[in-house]
Amino acid sequence: MRTTVVSVAVVMMLVVLAFTPAVYVQAQGTPPAEIVKDATKDYGVDNDGDLLYEFLVINFTLWVKTPGKYKIYGTLIYNYAPIMTNNTAKDLGAGWQNINLMFNSTPLFKSLKDGQYFLEYNVRNDYVVPPWFVEDNYTTRSYDHRDFDDPMNYPTTLTKYQPKITKESENERYVLWNGVMTVWFYYKVPRLVWFYTLDNKSRTKYFCEFIGVHGYVEKGAGRFEPENSPYLGLLNDPGRTVTTSSIVVNRSKIYGEFVSVSITFADIPIKDDAKTVLRFANITFSLLLSAGPRTFTTDEKGNYYTIDGGTQLSLNIDIEIQHQSLAMNGLALEQEIWSESSKKYYHNLELVGASPIEIDRGSTDSNDSKFFPINDPQKIQFVPEHTLEKKSEGYYYWVNRAVVDGSFHTDTMTYQYMPAQKRLKLYLAFTTTGTSIRTVHSDLLGIGINEAGNPTMQTYIKPKPAEQPSILITIMGWVTAVILVILPLYVDFRRAQKKMRELEEEFGEDL
């Protein structure tokens, strides 16, 4: 009986401890350091620029009163199951100091666990008298296991998705293609044309042409207005030069197999309203056609990648203002988007974002408007008029954050429909809180084909011809036309007869 009572007491004590918040444990006396819990943060480290993390880092901030060697021990846990343990030691001086726990990426990738990780840790200093330590726990932000690097992990690329690239000098373009999408990049314009490789119904092509950059002064949260831009640099200016990098064919742990090429437009004259050349700009377009099933994700750097329907063309843009900057804190990249078909296979446009917009091809609204940004990529989708399913076939997307002079800034898009040309004009604006801009590195611009939505997989409906008038209406129209022609002649004839009788009565036989 006594043994049973003791056992129950021990079990109850363990239960109470399990539901009691983490307790700081240390020897008597003034602690040599304190952990600033609110300052603890976690992030991934990408050392080789492949967008995958080699380490998960958890950074602790300490207020150190007694300098010395401090150690930290931690176990990373997911759903009560330990993944790995690590420790580090560091000599810390007095004042605010940082110490990190670093966890290798391979076990995280192989764990196949997505979401938040739980860390149990303790920090100690065994060299003070009496020895000191403190223990607690921490929960990370959410991660996808595919965010972490594994030296042996390369996505399998299906044969139909393996991309290729060639240069056609006679057409001044690069051709990138796989079994889903074909892309033409005209490097003197520059213009991107993409279409479904196996399309045998609509024969539709999608276009994105880059016009130039506008320099302006941003005054608050208002939208970019091209008429108020004092500086303009056109990509087709005869004063610029065009250079291309070598073609790259390789594979990535994110993209699978890919092909890429970079095109630089150098010495683009930046002119004011009087056409005076003030500065020069270099603009580089970096294209990457990749393969393998992926969806978009992000890290703390704001890097997005996505492959819809098995294929994706990603585009990065770098802008450099040469020499000293102009007095402007905004740059807007001007583009035009449209589609063309040899079979009148028309598309309407859907702008997907914080404020969804639908633009009918027949719209006559040419006002320019601001498209409000959101955290996820914003899309322009090409939605066919003449299919039963109305699935989006092609798309163009951008991310509303770029690095401007080394710092992240939120960007906004201004759009304007051009009814006569059936095109959508876009101004992607990069801004800074400073007084000038020297460099811009865009987040990904994406161009692609939704394989499940292309016309060979939808029910194509031949456009109805314009309605012809009925036979009765046609006959009535002809009768009316004849009456309108004959009636005036008949009236003139009757008037002539009447005039003749009047003359006979007046002059008699002498007439």
Amino acid 255: pLDDT: 67
DSSP string, 114-177: -B--EEEEEEEETTSSS-EEEEEEEE---B-GGGB--TT--PPPPGGG--EEEEEGGGTEEEEE
Please, which contacts does 294-301 make with residues 24 or more away whose CB atoms are closer than 8 Å?
294/155, 294/254, 294/255, 296/376, 296/377, 297/144, 297/146, 297/147, 299/44, 299/46, 299/51, 299/53, 299/147, 300/43, 300/44, 301/46
Q: What is the pTM of this model?
A: 0.66
Helix (H, G, I), strand (E, B), or coil: what is residue 338? strand
The answer to whether 261 and 245 have CB atoms below 8 angstroms apart is yes
Confidence (pLDDT) at 493: 67
From residue 326, how far is each of 161, 197, 269, 329, 445 by CA, in Å?
Answer: 45, 44, 13, 9, 26
Instruction: Report CA 23 to chain centroid distance, whole Å.
Output: 45
Residue 420's Cβ-count burial label (10 Å; 0-12, 13-18, 19+) is exposed
Check pLDDT > 80 for residue 352. yes
Of the chain, the percentage scoring pLDDT greater than 90 comes to 37
Asked whether the beta carbons of 319 and 213 are under 8 A apart, the reply is yes
In a 13 Å sphere around the CA of 470, the CA atoms on its Cβ side amount to 3
Domain 23-147 has CATH 3.90.700.10: no
Element counts in the chain: helices (H) and strands (E): 3, 33
- Which stretch of 19-23, 135-139, 332-336 has the lowest confidence by average pLDDT? 19-23
Mean pLDDT of the chain: 81
Confidence band (pLDDT; 50, 70, 90) for 199? confident
- What's the pLDDT score for residue 13? 45
- Residues 115-132: tens digit of each pLDDT: 899 999 999 998 888 899
pLDDT given at position 312: 61
For residue 295, pLDDT beyond 60:
no
pLDDT at 19 over 80: no
Mean pLDDT of 405-422: 87
Q: Where are the domains of the chain?
A: 23-147, 159-457
Look at residue 29 in the predicted model and tell me its pLDDT.
Answer: 64
* pLDDT attached to residue 5: 43
Q: What is the per-residue DSSP string for 280-332? A: EEEEEEEEEEEES-EEEE--TT---EEEBTTEEEEEEEEEEE-SSPPS-SEEE
Q: What is the dihedral of CA 34, 35, 38, 44, to 10 degrees?
A: 160
- CATH class of residue range 159-457: mainly beta
Check residue 300 and give its pLDDT.
Answer: 45
User: What pLDDT is stored for residue 473 in this prediction?
Assistant: 67
C-alpha–C-alpha distance, residues 207 and 89, integer Å: 57
Q: Cβ-count burial of 236 within 10 angstroms (0-12 exposed, 13-18 middle, 19+ buried)?
A: middle
Q: What pLDDT shows up at residue 502?
A: 67
State the average pLDDT over residues 262-288. 91
Which of 69-78, 212-221, 420-429 has the least mean pLDDT?
A: 212-221
pLDDT score for 15? 41
**Greater model confidence, 84 or 156:** 84
